[in-house]
Amino acid sequence: VAWPAATQDSLLNICMDAKHHKTEPGPEGQLYGQCVLWKDNACCTANTSMEAHEDQSYLYNFNWDHCGAMPEKCKRHFIQDTCLYECSPNLGPWIDQADNSWRKERIRDVPLCKEDCDQWWEDCQDAVTCKVNWHKGWNWTTGTNQCPKGAMCQKFKFVFPTAAALCEQIWSGSYRYTSYHRGSGRCIQMWFDPVQGNPNVAVAEYYA
């Protein structure tokens, strides 16, 4: 199907309608830490980027350490995942309606580069969790997520036996595991060198 150009363009360089996103992408000189990759053109504010690095940030009151402390090498992938979700203006082709009270749109089936997913799994295999899908089913009575009654804490490698299981299941299908490699122009990179420019611009154009 050849989409009319207007439709195609509307999928490029946009921010989703969600809890903390700006309405339009633009430069954010003060982005913090791992979110700095998006400073030239971001859907997140500096404040959001700082909160993305907090263990118990006000963004979603989500606690990474729900089964004991998450190792730093694992946590950095979750911070990067948050930065991509909050800051990237290149997720348009995968924006979908969401039926949550806190956001109107979400991402679905974003094709992640194989290396990004494999490394995430590799660095997190010994971290511990009690749930496969982190989007729902938590006990929120304390104001932050706790394991539901009867859920057992176990290592990621048992909860998510493969990298694909981790990337595709943890956020209810937000990501899709692919065999595409970084630099192929066919997959979204969670990590990239901003000096070389943002490789995800071309990926969004390809899928749009």
Where residue 197 falls among pLDDT bands split at 50, 70, 90?
very high
Domain positions in the chain: 10-207
Q: What is the mean pLDDT of residues 155-178?
A: 97
Q: What is the pLDDT of residue 1?
A: 47
Distance CA 17, CA 51 (A): 19
Instruction: Say if residues 54 and 144 touch (Cβ distance below 8 Å).
Output: no
Residue 28 and residue 89: Cα distance in Å, rounded?
Answer: 12
Q: What is the mean pLDDT of residues 152-157?
A: 98
Give me the chain's average pLDDT, please: 93
What is the arithmetic mean of pLDDT over 49-61?
87
- 3-state SS of 150-201 is CCCCEEHHHHCCCHHHHHHHCCCCCEEECCCCCCCCCCECCCCCHHHCCCHH
pLDDT > 70? residue 5: no
- Name beta bridge partners: 68: 66
Least confident of 3-12, 52-61, 143-152, 197-206: 3-12
